[in-house]
Amino acid sequence: MKKHNLFLIFIIIFAATVNAQWDLGVSMGVDFKSAPDYRDYVNAVYGPYGKKLSTFSSAANFSVELDYAGLKKFQPGIEYSLLIDSYTVTLVGGANELSYLIHRPSLLGFYKVEGEGYKFKFGFGGGVRFIEFTEKIITETRYHSSGYGIIIKTEGVTKIDGNIYVSVGIDLRYDFFNELYNEEFDKKIINFVNGDAVDLNSVSGGIKLGIVYSF
């Protein structure tokens, strides 16, 4: 079973077996990211035939977060965030596509301010990162990588009914990865312009909306 699946199972079991006050949130949003090596590779190989990537580009972000809310000012938590991105260019032989998933589990710590029907929290954290990357040029080749990342995050929640809250959050991230690698063919993705192996090191800022259930 993949590591990120085990992380999600841990969140569910931990919340179900401990009698305390918890906030369970799900959210989706957009990240605006800058990944220089990836951008340079796309623009060098595919840019002449399609749209070039700018310094910052957007990607979809989905996350699940579980926080312990039983303390007065401090709120620790764990988060699983999934980033989804792709790039497609159509040539005479068909569509070439780059697509990837970045799994971003993190341990978090927040300072919180709360009152009747609302809560504001600000904090930071970090964790390991995992990439599943696919390049399709006639046939598909899959690459993987791992690394680590840090996150600074702020979020506001407002009660809408009973134990259900709506949330708005923003975050800043820095993620560092090893070079993309295919074990089957013992190969890396090389940018032929500069001869460097490609990685997905990135800085990003994101905004997301979600629902929080307090129990």
The torsion region of residue 162 among left (phi > 0), alpha (psi -120 to 50) and beta comes to left
Cα–Cα distance, 38 to 46 (Å, whole number): 11
pLDDT tens figures, 118-141: 999 999 999 999 999 999 988 899
What's the domain count of the chain?
1
pLDDT tens figures, 159-169: 999 999 999 99
Structure confidence at residue 3 (pLDDT): 58
The torsion region of residue 17 among left (phi > 0), alpha (psi -120 to 50) and beta comes to alpha
Question: Which of 30, 10, 8 lies closest to 18, judged by CA?
Answer: 10
Report the CATH number that the domain containing residue 64 is assigned in CATH: 2.40.160.20
- Which structural domain, as residue segments, surrounds residue 78? 3-11+23-214
Residue 11: pLDDT band with limits 50, 70, 90: low
How many other β-carbons are positioned within 10 Å of the β-carbon of residue 47? 15
pLDDT tens figures, 17-37: 555 599 999 999 999 999 999
pLDDT tens figures, 162-212: 999 999 999 999 999 999 999 999 999 999 888 999 999 999 999 999 999
Residue 43 belongs to a domain: yes
Residue 18 belongs to a domain: no
Average pLDDT on 103-107 reads 98
